[in-house]
Structure 1
Amino acid sequence: MPTVLAISGLRVTIYPNDHRPAHVHVIGRGCEAVFNLHCPDGPAELRENYEFSRRELNKIASGLNVCAAALCDKWSQIHGHYR
C-alpha cells in the first residue's frame, strides 16, 4: 500500500489492487477514512469513516482538495483511468 501523501501526520494511501471509482484511504492514530476523489476536478467526498472526528475529517478533506490533481495523477499511474 503505497503512501502517496501525508496530511497532519496521517498517511494517504492508494491500494494497488483496489477498485474504482478513484479514492484514497487516510490512515493514522487508530482511525481510517475513505474519500472518493471525483477525478480529475474533485472535490474529495467522504465515503467511509472509522473513528475520525468531524473536525479531523474537514481538515483531511481540505488537504486532499489542495492536492486533488496530484492524487488523481497517482491513481491513474497505479490503476489507469479514473472511472
Structure 2
Amino acid sequence: MPTVFLLSDLRVVICPNDHRPAHVHVIGKGCEAVFHLHCPSGPPQLRGNYDFGARDLIRIIEGLSARLTDLCTEWRTIHGPD
C-alpha cells in the first residue's frame, strides 16, 4: 500500500484498488484505523478503529483535517473523479 504521507510515526495510505467513498487507512504502532474523508470539505470521520487509543485518534483526525485538500486531491488522482 502506498504511503501518501507520514503523520509522525503513522503511515497514511490510499489503496489503489480500493472502493469509494474516499477514505484513508492510518497504520502504525501495531494498529490501524480507517477514515472517510468527506471530500472536498470534510471533516474526516472514523469508520473503523483497530486498537488506536482515544488520544491517538484525536491526533490523527487533527492531522488528516490539516491535509484534507491534499488527501482529496490524491484520492482523485488515484481513483478518478467522483
TM-score with structure 2 setting the length? 0.97
Please report the RMSD computed on the Cα atoms of aligned residues, expressed in angstroms.
Answer: 0.6
CA–CA separation in structure 2 for the residues paired with 1:66 and 1:30: 24
Say whether 1:9 aligns with 2:41: no
Which secondary structure does the structure 2 equivalent of 1:78 belong to? helix
**Which ranges of structure 1 fall in alignment gaps of 5 or more residues?**
none
CA–CA separation in structure 2 for the residues paired with 1:36 and 1:81: 16
Say whether 1:49 aligns with 2:27: no
Aligned length: 82
Which consecutive aligned stretches of 4+ in structure 1 deviate over 2 angstroms post-superposition? none
Amino acid of the structure 2 residue aligned with 1:14 = I
Q: Deviations over 1:10-43 (max 9, x none)?
A: 0000000000000000000100000000001111
**Which ranges of structure 2 fall in alignment gaps of 5 or more residues?**
none
Shift in Å, 1:8: 1.6
TM-score with structure 1 setting the length? 0.96
Name the residue aligned to 2:34: 34
